[in-house]
């Protein structure tokens, strides 16, 4: 099985290193990861500057079996680069895209901002099975020991379940010990008080992203937010089709 790995936190972060390690026993691993943080890029692609691929020596990270590249593009670009540049004219095809492990939850409305899930949605566009993995802690020094042992099992199970065209999976891990795995839907919610003002040395006002997440349905037991809050792994089938069918 040919496995492509990307993320939106950038190459060398703990999440992607752990994901590569857990994927190596499942097949041949190729990594195309951003050369720096690309959080919040969603399905954004690069249209106004050249993109590059730079080969990385995986042995420096104890991952000599993986074929590793960085790019100045986005996570969504990584999938397009794999298809159109790295494998161009090659019989090799991508059997699975895995993205993450993201440092921070991609549950609820976060999925629309997520570069991690953006790569999965682009894979779904191309009919490639895709799974995004995220951990509910934004720290760069996260303890993934509870989560990583579940990743191969979940990956195998979701591949067996099958992924119809236009569908990918959004998997979110709770912090700490895990008490179960739950199929979920995306919780309804929004962010408020999202920007904080500051003043720089020249007296100019600038803004940084902060915000508080508001869950519109905290008592609903079938959502991703509920599962994570109750120490369960959330698995949410996610669709490329954004049509509001109830309005037709």
- Buried-exposed string 149-177: b where 16+ CB fall within 10 A, e elsewhere: ebbeebbeebbeeebeeebbbbbbbbbee
- Binning pLDDT at 50, 70 and 90, where does residue 231 land? very high
- Binning pLDDT at 50, 70 and 90, where does residue 69 land? very high
Judged against a pLDDT cut of 70, whether residue 106 lies above it is answered with yes
Say how far apart CA 183 and CA 37 lie, in whole Å: 30
Entry field: residues in the chain:
248
Task: Report the 3 state secondary structure along 7-25.
Answer: CCCCCCCHHHHHHHHHHHH
Instruction: Tell me the backbone φ, ψ of residue 212, rounded to 5 degrees.
Output: -125, 130
More confident residue, 162 or 171: 171
Contact (CB, 8 A) for 75 and 99 = yes
163-219, pLDDT tens digit by residue?
999 999 999 999 999 999 999 999 999 999 889 999 999 999 999 988 899 999 999
Say how far apart CA 198 and CA 205 lie, in whole Å: 6
Hunting for tokens 């949410």 — which residue is that?
A: 236
**Closest to 19 (Cα-Cα) out of 34, 6, 8, 28:** 6
- State the chain's mean pLDDT as an integer: 94
State pTM to two decimals.
0.94
H helix intervals, 36-150: 75-81, 115-125, 145-148
87-102, pLDDT tens digit by residue?
876 667 899 999 999 9
Give pLDDT, residue 197. Answer: 94
Contact (CB, 8 A) for 99 and 32 = no
Q: What percent of the chain has pLDDT over 70?
A: 99
């Amino acid at each position: 099985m040919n496995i492509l790995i990307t993320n939106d936190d950038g190459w060398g972060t703990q999440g992607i290193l752990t994901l590569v390690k857990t994927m190596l026993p499942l097949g041949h691993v190729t990594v195309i990861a951003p050369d720096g943080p690309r959080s919040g890029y969603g399905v954004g692609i690069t249209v106004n500057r050249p993109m590059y691929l730079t080969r990385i020596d995986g042995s420096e990270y104890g991952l000599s079996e993986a074929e590793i590249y960085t790019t100045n593009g986005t996570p969504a670009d990584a999938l397009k680069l794999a298809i159109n540049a790295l494998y161009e004219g090659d019989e090799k095809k991508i059997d699975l895209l895995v993205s993450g492990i993201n440092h921070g939850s991609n549950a609820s409305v976060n999925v629309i901002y997520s570069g991690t899930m953006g790569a999965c949605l682009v894979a779904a566009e191309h009919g490639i099975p895709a799974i995004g993995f995220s951990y509910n802690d934004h720290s760069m020094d996260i303890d993934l020991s509870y989560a990583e042992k579940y990743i191969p099992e979940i990956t195998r199970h979701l591949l067996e379940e099958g992924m119809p065209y236009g569908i990918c999976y959004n998997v979110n891990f709770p912090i700490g010990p895990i008490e179960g795995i739950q199929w979920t839907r995306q919780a309804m919610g929004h962010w408020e008080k999202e920007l904080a003002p500051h003043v720089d040395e020249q007296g100019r006002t600038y803004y940084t992203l902060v915000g508080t997440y508001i869950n519109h349905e905290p008592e609903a037991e079938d959502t991703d937010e509920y599962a994570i809050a109750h120490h369960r792994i959330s698995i949410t089938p996610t669709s490329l089709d954004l049509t509001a069918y109830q309005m037709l």
